[in-house]
Chain A
C-alpha cells in the first residue's frame, strides 16, 4: 500500500482558529462541540451491552451452584450438564469440519492462485459469510437430517455448524498466508527452498498464529449460533453416546426454555445461567484470540527487525 492512511494525531491548540480578539470562531466552536458529542455515541453502543451483561450475571449468579454444571436437566429444573457437553461436542465436530473444508481453500487462494482468480474466489467466500444462519439450518435439515437420513443428531448439527463456520476459517487462512511478507518468500526461494519446504518451514510458522486466531474466532461465532443447529438436533436431557444421537446445546436449551414460556423462576434462572456460560465461552475465546494475536505480533516484530 505504501500510502499513510487515517486521520493524523490531534494537533496542539491552533492560534489560526481564533479571531483577532482571541475568541474561538463559530466553525471552531462547532468542531469542539462535535468533538465532545460524537464520542458520547460510544455509550449508545456500549451501555446496552453493559446492561445486558449486568442483568445476565445478576440473574445467573445468585443461584449458581456447582451441581448445575454436573447434573442433567430434568424438566424446567435440574442442571446444564447435557447442554454444556453437547455444545462442546457439536463445536468440536464443527471445528474439524470447518478446518477440513476451509483451511485448504484459504491456503490455495493465498499461495497457489493468480491474483485475479484469487480476488474473484475471495468474493464467493465473503458472500457465503453473509448467508443467513437460518438458511444454513434449513439446508442442514433438508440434506443431513432428511436426505442422508441421519435424523436429529450430533452429526447433523456438527456438520451443519461446520459448514456455517467454513468461510470464516477460509478467510482467516487466506489472510494469514497473504500476510507473509513477499521478501521472506523471495529469500526462501532465492536460497533454494522447494515449494513444499517454503510452505512447511517458512510460511506456515509465520501464518500459524493468525490461522489459529481465525479458528478460535470461528468457534466463538459458532458456539453461540442457534439457527444452524435448531433443526438438526433436539434439546435432550442426556449427552449423546454416539454421533447419531441427538445432542443438546446451550443455545438450544435457552430456545426450548423460551418455547416453554419461561414462567417458572427456576426456568428463568437456568436460561440466564446458560446465557451466562455462553457469554463466558465467547468472551473467553475472544480474549484468547487477542492474547495470541498480541504475542505473535511481538514475535513477528522481533523476526523482522
Chain B
C-alpha cells in the first residue's frame, strides 16, 4: 500500500507536490482512523464516567463500609460473592463438557450438542431474570432450600438465620445459580476451543504410549491448553461481574452484606441498575459513575488479561 518513491530525472528524489503528499499520507494513514474507533469509544466511555464522577471521593470514605455516605466496598464484596462461586462452578462443569465434547463424544453427537450450548449464550439476560424470578425462585424457596438448608447448616455461611428474610428463593444463592447458567456457555466454548487447539500428534502419542483417553486429557491436553483455560476463567469472570439485569431480578436487591447464602444482597452492576428507577441526578449520578469506574477498571483488567492469554495460546499453536 505504500507509495513508491518517485525518481526524478536526475535520479535523486524530488519533493512531491503538496496534494500528492496529502494523497499519499491519506492512503498510508486512513486505516488507523476506523481501526482505532473501538479504542476511542472505550476511552470516551472512561472519559464520560470520569466527567460525571467526582474523583475526590476516591478516598478512604469512598471505599468505606458505610452505605449512607458513599460506601462502595459492600457492593464490590457482593460482586465477588456472586461472581467467584459462579465462576468456580461454571469452570468445573464447563471443563467437563469441553472434555466430553472433544474427547469422548462421537463426532455426530458433539456436532449437534456444541451449537446448542453456543446458542445458550445468546439467550437475553432479562429472560433469564424473568424465569429466575417467577419460576426458579418459588421452586427453590418452597422445595429445594427448606430441604437442603438443614443438611448444609454446618457450613459457615450456609445457616439460614431466622431474623433475615431468608429461604424465600431470591437472594445470594439464586444469584449464584442463575449467574452460573449464564456464564457456562462462554466458559465451555472457550475451553472447548483451547482443547481443540491441542495438536493431534500429542493426543496420539499419549494414546500410543498406552494412556487412556482420560489420562491423555488430564495429563497432556489440559496442561497444554492451560493458558486458554485460564483465559476462559478470566473472560468468564469479567462476564459474571458485568452481568446486570438477571442478577438484579433474582438477588432481592438490598444494599447490605449478606448474612448467609440465602440472604439478599447487592452487586455493583445491580446497584447501578436499581438506582435507575429512582431519580437519577446530582449526587446519585456522581456515585453511580464512580462505581461504574471501579467496575470498568476491574472488568478491563480481567478482559485484557484473558484476551492476552488466549492470544498467546493461538500463537503457540500457529508456531508449531
Contacts and interface: CB of A to CB of B under 8 A. Distances in A.
Interface in B104-119: 104-107, 109, 113, 115-117, 119
A22 B178 CA distance: 47
A27 B130 contact: no
Contacts of B109: 39
A124 interface: yes
A259 interface: yes
B52 A6 contact: no
Given A8-B200, A105-B34, A278 B124 contact: yes
Interface string B281-301: 000010011001001100110
Contact of A130 (B100, B200, B239): B239
A179 to B, nearest CB: 15
Nearest to A28: B212
A126 interface: yes
Interface in B209-253: 210, 212-215, 217, 221, 235, 238-239, 241-245, 249
Given A7-B217, A111-B31, A224-B124, 4 more contacts: A45-B97, A128-B42, A132-B296, A282-B123
Contacts of A102: 37-38
Interface in B164-200: 181, 184-185, 188, 195-200
Contact of B304 (A59, A127, A166): A127
B104 A35 contact: yes
Interface residues of A, number: 96
Contacts of A46: 113, 116-117, 120
B318 interface: yes
A135 interface: yes
B275 to A, nearest CB: 10
B317 A30 contact: no
A128 to B, nearest CB: 4
Interface string A26-53: 0110110011001101101110110110
Interface of B: 1, 30-39, 41-42, 44-45, 48-49, 51-52, 93, 96-97, 99-107, 109, 113, 115-117, 119-120, 122-131, 133-135, 181, 184-185, 188, 195-201, 203-204, 207, 210, 212-215, 217, 221, 235, 238-239, 241-245, 249, 269, 272-273, 276-277, 280, 285, 288-289, 292, 295-296, 299-300, 302-304, 306-308, 311, 317-318, 320
A271 B45 CA distance: 32
B39 A124 contact: yes
A225 B269 contact: no
15 contacts: A3-B320, A5-B317, A34-B214, A45-B117, A45-B188, A46-B113, A49-B120, A132-B269, A134-B269, A134-B273, A223-B124, A258-B133, A272-B134, A275-B131, A279-B127
Contacts of A55: 131, 135
Contacts of B96: 38, 41
A49 B123 contact: yes
A111 B245 CA distance: 38
If over half of B's interface residues share one DSSP class (helix, strand or loop), that class is named, otherwise mixed; here it is: helix
A109 B45 CA distance: 22
B244 A130 contact: no
B126 A30 contact: no
B116 A131 contact: no
A223 B127 CA distance: 12
Contacts of B128: 52
Given A39-B100, A105-B38, A128-B41, A135 B130 contact: no
Given A42-B117, A121-B36, A131 B125 contact: no
Contacts of B101: 42
A303 interface: no
A123 B105 CA distance: 33
